[in-house]
Amino acid sequence: MSGHHHHDHDHDHDHPHAPPQPDDKVHSYHQILSIALKELLIEKGVITAAEVRQFIEKRDSITPANGAKVVARAWLDPAYRARLLEDGNAAAAELGFPITGTKLVAVENTSDTHNVVVCTLCSCYPRDLLGLPPAWYKSRAYRARVVREPRAVLREFGTELSDDVALRVHDSTADIRFLVLPQRPVGTDALDEEALAALVTRDSMIGVALLDGGAR
Amino acid sequence: MTRFEPGAKVRVREDCPPGHIRTPVYLRGKPGVVQRYFGAFGNPERLAYNLTGPKKDLYKVRFRAADLWPDYQGSQKDVIEADLYDHWLETI
């Protein structure tokens, strides 16, 4: 798209103009490679631009709210919780969230164990259930540090764990995707499933946050 | 029949082959304990190059943070777990 103006008045008027913003930064080598590959696949008729757009739209429609529903159901229904811990794919599918190509494994926080998830090699994440990972999850800093000094990283997220709590860092190095099943906050006995799901945050399902305050 | 049962003590192969390797360098040569068996999965070292080959048994292996990092500052209870393919694991 051209950035040129086609109106013919001079730019000596005094209303404030935002400075023109170039709409793209300089692409990296791999971004250029990916764009070239996409264009070639479209040109050769393997995929269509509409299919690419539909795929992105579908991806973007998956949000942490899906995972929150799984967590809330597991809190309320011990049999569902057992099924979730036994077979994450089947338990997610039960609630209408199909997971394809990877194996979903739920890891449960307890009063003496806290779980946190990373992919040190790239950005593996339970995308079928939680949507796209946050930018920090893909950053080199998080990936390198959470296996090296996990408690310091959690502290930066406002999460303080006592030394009595064993910290378990899950490095997603293969076909397994991990979902942290956070502890149900105290004082929520009266809440129904929908209200409980509303309490469950993305970060608690990655394991960098707690739901009942910042310390344990 | 899998090579390792949960509880088996293993060591990650100390090796540095070229290619698409899903065994993080920080775990190579380190001792760990098998937690569970996940099943047999396509070998990413072959799949990355559009090659076929036998599926590989995949295990969840637990490492003590203190075994990975001699100067580890957290609790002695802290562990790192990773998912590793059979051909990267040795019996100890």
Q: Given CB atoms, is A121 within the 8 Å cutoff of chain B?
A: yes
pLDDT level of residue A1 (50, 70, 90 thresholds): very low
Residue showing tokens 């190579």: B28
**Across B67-81, average pLDDT:** 96
DSSP state of A18: P
- pLDDT for residue A25: 76
Determine, for residues A171 and B38 on separate chains, whether the beta-carbon distance falls below 8 Å.
no
Give the pLDDT of residue A212: 80
The dihedral through the CA atoms of A22, A25, A29, A30 has a sign that is: negative
CA distances from B72 to A4, A24, A167, B65, B66 (A): 57, 42, 13, 7, 5
Across the interface, do B58 and A174 touch by the CB < 8 Å criterion?
yes
One CATH from 3.10.28.10, 3.90.330.10, 3.40.50.9100, 3.30.360.10 for A63-206? 3.90.330.10
A2 pLDDT exceeds 50?
A: no
Location of structure tokens 């899998």: B2
pLDDT for the residue A98 = 95
pLDDT in tens, A184-196: 999 999 999 999 9
Half-sphere exposure of B81 (CA within 13 A, CB side): 25
Provide the edge-to-edge strand list for the sheet that holds B89-91: A113-118, A166-171, B79-85, B56-64, B31-41, B9-12, B89-91
Q: Given an 8 Å threshold on Cβ–Cβ distance, is B22 in contact with A147?
A: no
- Angle, alpha carbons A88-A91-A94 (nearest 5°): 150
Model confidence at A179, pLDDT cuts 50, 70, 90, reads: very high
Residues carrying CATH 3.90.330.10, chain A: 63-206
Residues of chain A found within 8 Å of residue B44, distances taken between Cβ atoms = 174
Q: Which residue has the higher pLDDT, A15 or B65?
A: B65
Average the pLDDT over B51-64 and give the result: 97
What domains lie within chain B, and their CATH numbers? Answer: 9-91 (2.30.30.50)
Q: Check residue A26 and give its pLDDT.
A: 85
Instruction: Quick: pLDDT tens for A61-103.
Output: 999 999 999 999 999 999 999 999 999 999 999 999 999 989 9
Catalytic sites of A, residue numbers: 119, 122-124
The verdict on A120 touching B (C-beta cutoff 8 Å) is yes
DSSP-assigned letters across all residues of A58-101 = HHHH--HHHHHHHHHHHHH-HHHHHHHHH-HHHHHHHTT----S
Q: What is the ipTM of this complex?
A: 0.98
pLDDT tier, A11 (very low <50, low <70, confident <90, very high otherwise): low
Q: Is the pLDDT of residue A57 over 90?
A: yes
Which residue from A207, A131, A129, A209 is spatially nearest to A170, judged by alpha carbons?
A207
Nearest CA of chain A to the CA of B87: how many Å? 14
How many CB atoms within 10 Å of residue A105?
Answer: 23
With beta carbons less than 8 A apart as the criterion, state whether B31 and B63 touch.
yes
Pair B84, B12: CB distance under 8 Å: yes
Least CA distance to B23: which residue of chain A? Answer: A173
Tokens standing for residue A196:
């409980």
Q: Which residue among A103, A149, A163 sits closest to B38, beta carbon to beta carbon? A: A103
pLDDT tens digits, one per residue of A113-160: 999 999 999 999 999 999 999 999 999 999 999 999 999 999 999 999
- What the block records as the tokens of B86 is 């059979």
Angle between helices A29-43 and A49-61 (to 10 degrees): 120
Read off φ and ψ for residue A171, nearest 5 degrees: -95, 115
* Cross-chain residue pair B60–A151, CB shorter than 8 Å: no
Confidence class of residue B15 from pLDDT cuts 50, 70 and 90?
very high
